[in-house]
Structure 1
Amino acid sequence: MKSTLKKLLPFAVVGVISGATTVGTLQYFNHDSDNTDQSYFTKSASNVSFAGMNSAAVGDDFVKAAKTTVPAVVTIKNYQSRTANRASEQDLFDFFFGDPFGGRGQQRQRQQQQTPDNMPSGMGSGVIISPDGYIISNNHVVAGANKLEVVLSNKKSYIATLVGTDPNTDISLLKIEEKGLPYLNFANSDNIEVGQWVLAVGNPLGLNSTVTAGIVSAKGRGIGILKSEGKAANPIESFIQTDAAINPGNSGGALVNTNGDLIGINSAIQSTTGYYQGYGFAVPSNLARKIIEDIKKFGIVQRGFLGVQSLDLSNDMQIALYNREKKTNIKPGSGVYVIGFGDNSGAEDAGIKTGDIITKIDNTPVTDYADLSVAIGSKRPGDKVVVTYLRNGKENTATVTLRDQKGGTSTRTKADLSVSEKIGAEFEPLNERVKTNFGLNSGVVAKNVAEGGEIAKIGIVDNYIIMEINGKPVNSQKDVEKILDKYSGNVSVKFVDGYGQIYTRGFKMP
C-alpha cells in the first residue's frame, strides 16, 4: 500500500501544482473584473483533464486538417464609396450577426458614413478552390463593394475580380491573378453525419487564420435568414449546423472534415448578442459547388423549379396558420404538402395534384421544405427528377422535368438575360403626383432591386426615382430597355434618393 502511494504521490503533486497555476493565472487576468463569474472558470479548469482523455488521435486529425486548411483560407476586404450607398438600410454585419452595441435590427441612417476611402467597410473570409485563384465566399461578404482586396495567410495581397454572386444561396465567386496557390478540395456534403468532428477556419473579429473545432450538430437546417433579408427571391436554405465557434469575420470561411476537405462555407450564426452562442451555419459544399460551376460556365446561376406551392409538414406553426386561414385540417408530419402550382409547372404536367405529400426526390428523403429546396435547387432547367409522393396514403412516383421561372427547360447565359436581369432591377412609371411633388419632368421608380446588382452597387434601393440614363429621360421600363439593350459601355444614372437629394453615378454594363 505504501509503495503504491509513493508511486502516485508525484502525479498528485503535479496535479495540485497544475490546478493552482491555472486558478492563479485566471485570477491574475481577471482581478479587475469584479463581475466575472469565478465559479465558471473554476469549473472549466477542473474539466480540462476529462476533455483531454483519449483525445490524442482526434488532436492529430485536427492538426493535419488545420495545416491543410489555413493556407487556403483568405481575408476579403470590402471597400465601398465614402458616401453612403444606401439610406435607411439594415447593415449587413448587423443582419447576419446582430448589433454588438445593442441595436440589433435597427434601421440606420448611412448618409454620412465616415469610413475613409482607404479603409474597408467590412471584412470576411474566403476559400481558395483552385490553384489559379478562384475563391468562394458569401454574397453578403462582397455585397456593395467598389473594390475587393484578398489577403492570403502569408500576407500577400491582391485585388480580386467578382465573377458572380447568388443571393439565393449567399454564395459568391471571386478571382485573383496568381498560380500555384494552395486550395481545398470539395467533399461530398451528403455523406457527412451528425456528430462527426469538423473545423471552422476563417478570420473572425480581425484574428487571422483562426481554427475552431466542433461537431456537426444538425443537417438540412433552415433558419429563414435569407428570406427575411428580402433580397433572395427564391432562397435555398439547407444549412449544416455546427457548434464549432463562428464569429463575425468567419463568413465565407471553410468548414472542413478531419481530412481537410471542404464540406461547407460558413455563412451565419444564430445569436442574441451578435457573437457566438453555440450554433453556426454553413452552406453545404454540394450546393456551393453547383452554384460556382454555374457562374463559371454560364455567368449566371441555372435554377430548376418543380413548380409547386407547398407547406412544410414539419412546421407546426405554419400548418396551424394555414388551417386557420383556409379552414382546412392538414395534419403536421413529415414531408411537403402540395397546396397549388405556379405557372408552367412541370410537377402539375407530370400528374402531381393538390393534396399530395412529397416524400422523396430521386430516392433522397424529403422530411421538410429545406430538404426539398436543396434537392431541387441543386438541379438545372431541363433536368428530370423522380418525385415520390403520397396520395390518400398510397405511395406514387412521377418523373418531372424541371423548368426555369419562365417555363423554359434550357440553360441560359448572360447574353440571354433581359436588361432588368443584367442590372438587377425593374422599373415602374412615376405617377404625376410624385412628379409634381419632386418637381420632375421624367422618372421611373426602382423596384425589386437585387442585392449585389449593378443598380444596388451605385446606391439605389427600392422606391428611389431614376430620372435619366446616359443623359436620356426615362418614363417606363421600355425606355430603360431601349437605352441599355445590347449596350456594353459605361452607364450613367441620375437618380433621386428618399430624401430628395439628386445623385449621378455609374457602372459598366455587364
Structure 2
Amino acid sequence: MYNDEQNLYHYTYRKDGSEPGQRYDARSTSGDAQSRPTVDEQLNHFESGRREQPPVQEMKSVKKNRMGLKITALALVCALLGGAVGGGVVWAVGNGGATEVNVSSRPATAVAVKTVDGKNAMTDAEVYAANVNSVVSINVTGTNGTNFFGQPVKTASAGSGFVLTKDGFIVTNYHVVKNADTVKVTMYNGDEYDAKYVGGDEDYDIAVIKVEAADLQPVTLGDSDKLNVGDHVLAVGNPLGELTFSMSGGMVSSVNRAINVSGTPFNMIQTDASINPGNSGGPMFNQYGEVVGIVSAKYSSYSNSSVEGLGFAIPINDVFAMIQDIMTNGYITNKPYLGITGGSMTEQMAAQYRYDIKEGVFVYSVEEGKAAEKAGLQMGDVITKVDSHDIKTMEDLTAVKKQYAAGDTSTLTVYRGGQTITVELTWDAVPADQQNQEETSQNSGSSNNNQFGNGYTNPYDIFDYFFGNRFGN
C-alpha cells in the first residue's frame, strides 16, 4: 500500500497504512518524530490540498527544471563546438550545481616520413607518407570512332600509376593508356607532366610511360611471392578520377587467384581493399611499404548478383622482368608465339567435323614460317595438351603459354584424323608489331561468363564505362 505525504511516497506493510516508530524524511533536518503530523492529520491535509489546488500545479517546478536542463545542454554543446579545450572544463547548470566535461588535450599525432627498408613494419599512415609522392594521377584523352555526323568522338578517362625510376619511368595498366592521344601525369605536389607511351602488353595488362623529369621519388618493389592470405595491404590511387591520392586498406583474400577476363586468364592477388574505377594502375603496398602488386580490376557483379570486396592486383613478381624489357626495348622481346588462328572446340564443331573429341583448341589456320608450321601443325588439328597441361579451351592455351618464353621447347599433344599424335615445338618470339594481336581466336571468350562491373565482360570496360560516358564516349 502506498501513502501520499505531500507528493512523497513511502511504502508500508501495515494494512491500515500507519508506520511504526520513526522513519527518515528526506525533507527534514531533524529525526524528532513528535514534530511530525499524525496519519489522520496527513490525510486531512491531503484532502484539503487536493480540493484547493489541482495536482497538475504541483508539477510546475519540474517543468522549470527540465527547461533549465535543456538550456544547459544546449550551452554545453555550443561551448564544445566553440572549441573549448582542457581536461576539466566546468559549466554551471540551472539547479545551482555543476557538471564536469572532460575534453582531451592530446596533441595531433605527428607522422614521421620513414625510409622503406623492407625490414621494419610501418603503420598505415607511415606507409602513405613514405609513398604518396611516388603515386601519380593519370588523365588520358583519346578518340573512339565517329558520331552520326562523321565527327570523331573524343573520350577522356583517368587512372593511376607509380614512379619506378628517378628519371621518370612510370608503371600503370595497359587499359589505362590504351589508344590514348594524350597522357598527362599529376604528382602529389601538383606538378603536371606530359607523358610519352613507351610500351605495354594487353595480355598482362601492363604499360610503361615516361615523363621528362629528374629526382622523382621511386617506389621500392617487394616480393609478391611472400604474401600470405590475411596479410594487410594498402592501395593508393585516384578513385573515380576525382578523389585523388586516396588510400584504402584491407587484407589479402587469396594469392594466385586465377580469373578469366574475356578469354584472357590472369593470375591475381585478391583483396577486400576498396578498389574503384580510377584505381587501375596504382600500387598495392604491403605493411613494409613495398609495392607487391599493380591494382587492376574488381568484380562488381557476377551472374546478375551484386558483389562487394573482390578487388584484384597483378603480382609484381609476375611482370617485373617484362616491365624491364618494355623500358629497354619498347615491348616484351621474349614473349612466346605459336603462330596459329585457333578457337575452343565445341560439341557443335565435333558433330560438324565428325570428331571424337569435344574439348581442345581447334586450329583454323597456321601462319607461314612460324613455330606452329615448323612443328608440323595443320589446319583442322585439335591441341589437347602442352607438355603435361591439359588444354580444353583457347583460354587454357593462353594461360599455359604465359609459363614459357621464346626459345623454350614443348611437346604438344594433338588430335588429327581420329588419332592422337605428339609434336615438338619451339616457341617463337612475338613480333614487335603483333604484341597485342598474336594467336587470333575465332571464338575467344565464348565460354567466359564472368562479368566485371555493370554487365561488362571486361574489367577494363568498367573504367571506360564510368569515364567514357561522363565525357561523351
Aligned equivalents of 1:110 and 1:198: distance in 2?
A: 47
Report the counterpart of residue 384 of structure 1 in structure 2.
408
Aligned equivalents of 2:191 and 2:270: distance in 1?
A: 32
Q: What TM-score do you get using the length of structure 2 for normalisation? A: 0.51
CA spacing shift, 1:311–1:256, aligned 2, 3 Å? farther
Q: Does 1:279 align with 2:279?
A: no
**1:443-462 alignment to 2 at 5 Å?**
none
What letter corresponds to residue 385 of structure 2 in structure 1? I
Report the counterpart of residue 428 of structure 2 in structure 1.
403
CA spacing shift, 1:320–1:274, aligned 2, 3 Å? same
In the alignment of these two chains, the number of paired residues is 304
CA spacing shift, 1:154–1:189, aligned 2, 3 Å? same
Report the counterpart of residue 87 of structure 1 in structure 2.
146
Aligned equivalents of 1:270 and 1:245: distance in 2?
A: 11
* RMSD (Å), alpha carbons: 4.7
Q: Does 1:294 align with 2:322?
A: no
Q: 8 Å contact 1:148–1:159 — kept in the other structure?
A: yes
Which of the numbers 176, 190, 193 marks the counterpart of 1:158? 193
Aligned equivalents of 1:202 and 1:110: distance in 2?
A: 36
Q: Does 1:304 align with 2:336?
A: yes
User: Residue 180 of structure 1 aligns to a residue in which SS?
Assistant: coil
CA displacement 1:104-128 (0-9 Å, x = unmatched):
xxxx99958688xxxxx22110111
**1:84-483 alignment to 2 at 5 Å?**
85-87=144-146, 111=151, 121-205=156-240, 206-212=242-248, 213-225=250-262, 227=263, 235=264, 237-272=266-301, 277-302=308-333, 303-306=335-338, 342-343=366-367, 346=371, 356-358=384-386, 373=398, 376-377=401-402, 379-381=404-406, 383-385=407-409, 400-404=425-429
What letter corresponds to residue 194 of structure 2 in structure 1? I
Q: What TM-score do you get using the length of structure 1 for normalisation? A: 0.48
Shift of 1:143: 3.0
Aligned equivalents of 1:279 and 1:271: distance in 2?
A: 8
CA spacing shift, 1:321–1:360, aligned 2, 3 Å? same
Shift of 1:175: 1.0
Q: 8 Å contact 1:220–1:371 — kept in the other structure?
A: no
CA spacing shift, 1:216–1:326, aligned 2, 3 Å? farther
Aligned equivalents of 1:257 and 1:368: distance in 2?
A: 35
Aligned equivalents of 2:235 and 2:430: distance in 1?
A: 36
Aligned equivalents of 1:278 and 1:162: distance in 2?
A: 32
Shift of 1:263: 2.6
| Bigger helix share | 1
Percent identical among aligned pairs is 29
Give the gaps of 5 or more residues in structure 1: 1-57, 89-107, 116-120, 228-234, 313-317, 392-396, 407-411, 425-510
Once structures 1 and 2 are overlaid, which stretch shifts more, 186-195 or 254-263?
186-195
User: Residue 66 of structure 1 aligns to a residue in which SS?
Assistant: helix
Q: 8 Å contact 1:245–1:276 — kept in the other structure?
A: no
Aligned equivalents of 2:232 and 2:423: distance in 1?
A: 38
CA spacing shift, 1:305–1:140, aligned 2, 3 Å? same
What letter corresponds to residue 377 of structure 1 in structure 2? K
Shift of 1:136: 0.8
Aligned equivalents of 1:288 and 1:132: distance in 2?
A: 21
Shift of 1:70: 2.7
Aligned equivalents of 1:372 and 1:274: distance in 2?
A: 29
Q: 8 Å contact 1:238–1:370 — kept in the other structure?
A: no
User: Residue 266 of structure 2 aligns to a residue in which SS?
Assistant: coil
Q: 8 Å contact 1:186–1:289 — kept in the other structure?
A: no
CA displacement 1:32-73 (0-9 Å, x = unmatched):
xxxxxxxxxxxxxxxxxxxxxxxxxx9955445434443221
User: Residue 260 of structure 2 aligns to a residue in which SS?
Assistant: coil
CA spacing shift, 1:275–1:322, aligned 2, 3 Å? same
What letter corresponds to residue 337 of structure 2 in structure 1? F
User: Residue 236 of structure 2 aligns to a residue in which SS?
Assistant: strand
CA spacing shift, 1:114–1:220, aligned 2, 3 Å? closer
Shift of 1:150: 0.9
Give the gaps of 5 or more residues in structure 2: 1-119, 416-421, 438-473
Q: 8 Å contact 2:160–2:282 — kept in the other structure?
A: yes
| Bigger strand share | 2
User: Residue 319 of structure 2 aligns to a residue in which SS?
Assistant: helix
